Amino acid sequence: MRVAIGSDHAGFALKETIKALLDELRVPYEDFGTTSPVPVDYPDFAEAVSRAVVGGRADRGILVCGTGIGMSMAANKIAGVRAAVVWDEASARLSRAHNDANIMTLGGSTTPAERAPGIVRAFLSTDYEGGRHRRRLEKIARLERKDA
């Protein structure tokens, strides 16, 4: 598995914590920025990570802004992205198992750093269940095609 990761300034510190965990787990990743807590615009990083995921350069993506909400909104504008705002291990697991989320968004201001490792592990280790959930994802894909 290869991960694309990115953040804005508000998520920078948590992104660095997550990168250390990925290093510890020996999960390869590509950091799409930002590189400091200097203010930047989160849509730029959401787009870069999203395009890496849908383009096959990465299997999953992790985005961090202040709350995770803005990153999720921006990422979900890219066809093929299923970005979920997660706040704990259960939401990370369910985003994968039920929604086949390929990008997880977190809040640097709302997610305590000590909870991030469990959330990241849950997101990376949970498989999509398919079955009854497949029909719903097919409907989401049809919505994307209607907008194209």
Active site residues: 65, 98
How much of the chain is in helix, strand and coil states, percent to nearest 5? 50, 15, 35
Rounded to whole angstroms, how far apart are CA atoms 108 and 111? 6
- Whole-angstrom CA distances from 22 to 2, 4, 46, 62 are 10, 11, 19, 11
Dihedral sign of CA atoms 18, 24, 29, 35 in order: positive
Rounded to whole angstroms, how far apart are CA atoms 117 and 29? 15
SS3 of 76, please?
A: coil
